Structure 1
Amino acid sequence: MRRIIAFIFVFVTIFLGIFSNPVEEVKIREEFKNLDSWKAYEFPKIKEHSVYTIVEGEILKTESNASASAIIYKDEFDVYKYPLIQWRWKVDNIIKKGDAKSKDGDDYPIRIYIAFKYDPAYTGLGKRIKYNTAKLLYGDYPPDSSLNYIWANKDYKENIIANSYTSEAQMILLQKGDANVGIWKTETVNIIEDYKKAFGKQPPAVASIIIMNDTDNTKEKAVSYIDYIKVYRLK
């Protein structure tokens, strides 16, 4: 009898566990064994580029020295099907002159962009003219808008700050100041909810991931790391 009761207890526990815990459906899981899934992006007017390398077999190391450039994940994803993103990151230092509220201080030891694809069919005339001009100059449309998840250099009271260069980029401050320098931190975000908070509307459907470490404005140095990035949904 005791064996039967024990068996029933174990069965019920497993059964309830299966149906009470959400199941993840993962669209992207980047563990940084290499950079084959990423392409470099360099800014036309910035001569010094940041460096992105794999260390310890499966960690992305990012380094800047009065420089700026980025890496872009090659595949896009539908934010309405996969609205959750999780990653683990660490910084060796913050940028002393970094300031999210000024152009001169718009540098970060690490930031993860979620760049939303521009679609002229859903855009007003003024923005279409602006973006068509940009395409003529640079060969492609810039993102419609972006969320920048940043490791902020200062302990601001705000959690969302408009980028000092353009309101089409909103900065989400996940880490602030030097309190967690040298410590691995895991972040989990819902990009649809964050976009609505930042822009006051629903986001465009298609997005891509960009990683950047930049110190071109402050002329300082910064080193940071990312362990993994996961794009997923809960079923």
Structure 2
Amino acid sequence: MKRYALLLLALSSSYSSAQDNLTAFGTDKIEQWEKEVFSGETVYEQVSLEGEPVLRALSNKSASGLVLKKRIDLQQTPFIQWRWRISKQLPNLKEQTKAGDDYAARIYLVIEDGFMGLKTKALNYVWSSSQVQGSVWNNAYVGENVKMLAIQGQSASTHQWYSEQRNVYQDMIRYFGDKGSSEANLEAYRYIDAVAIMTDTDNSGLAAESYYGDIVFSAE
């Protein structure tokens, strides 16, 4: 069991508002995020880039993340928006294998389910080094309970900001299965219990530098 299972079992909950900036870089809000170290420590620090406060992540053969344990109501705020950029693309890693399970940038969205979180599910929005944009696959360590979605792929540019938006509620239904009715889907997928940021290169033994803008949940 590698870092993903440990991360999923570590997460708990609280409540969110109708629109919520989870990070608000440039303030002390990021201090609510907890450090999770799995294999060496990725350095996360607030910096100013092009005149704006952002989060810089520096990984050197490391795997650690920042986790916000907070319940987010997807009935009220189903959309997530964020910006990110990378300084250098990782080589063409075999991301569907354990040896290639590294990403210059990624965002986890976690739903806890079942006793001790044994049925926990997570969407993993990643900046892929080898897959085309839009590719989806099961995590190499955890399997079908963690879906990897290539939001940016091998053709993405470095040193360029990309603004993203996803309907998390619809992604949950699409990738973990339609329960057959709106009521059943709402019961299964209404709440996100935690959000995590991770830049990691422990498997490949490489280095990565990435930047994250504010992560916001909203109604539209």
Q: Which residue, out of 174, 181, 195, partners 1:197?
A: 174
Alpha-carbon distance in structure 1 between the residues aligned to 2:123 and 2:65: 15
Say which of 137, 155, 160 aligns to 1:161. 137
Q: From the CA coordinates, give the structure whose radius of gyration is larger.
A: 1
Match of 2:151 in 1: 174
Matched position secondary structure for 2:213: strand
| 2:21 aligned residue | 28
Find out whether 1:222 has 2:217 as its counterpart: no
The TM-score with structure 1 as length reference comes to 0.74
Which structure 1 segments of 5+ residues have no match? Answer: 1-24, 121-130, 132-140
Name the CA shift for 1:217/1:192 in 2 (closer, same or farther; >3 Å): same
Structure whose residues are more often strand by fraction = 2
Question: Alpha carbons of 1:142 and 1:218: their partners in 2 closer, same or farther (altered >3 Å)?
Answer: farther
Segments ≥4 residues shifted beyond 6 Å? none
Match of 2:219 in 1: 233
Q: Is residue 100 of structure 2 the alignment partner of residue 105 of structure 1? A: yes
2:92 is equivalent to residue 92 of structure 1 = no
Q: Which residue of 1 aligns with 2:73?
A: 78
Q: Identity, % of aligned pairs? A: 28
The count of aligned residue pairs is 188
How far residue 226 of structure 1 moved from its aligned partner, in angstroms, is 0.7
TM-score w.r.t. the length of structure 2 is 0.78
Q: Give the CA deviation at 1:58.
A: 1.7
Instruction: List alignment gaps of at least 5 residues for structure 2.
Output: 1-17, 179-184
CA-to-partner distance for each residue in 1:148-196, whole Å, 9 max, x for gaps?
A: 0000001437621111112110011110014321110000000111112
Pairwise CA RMSD: 1.9
- Kindly provide the CA deviation profile for residues 112-158 of structure 1, in whole angstroms up to 9, marking residues without a partner as x: 000112243xxxxxxxxxx4xxxxxxxxx467110000000014376
Conserved in 2, the CA contact under 8 Å of 1:92 and 1:224? yes
Deviation digits for residues 10-66 of structure 1 (CA, Å, limit 9, x no counterpart): xxxxxxxxxxxxxxx4133422124212111122xx2x1111100116210011100
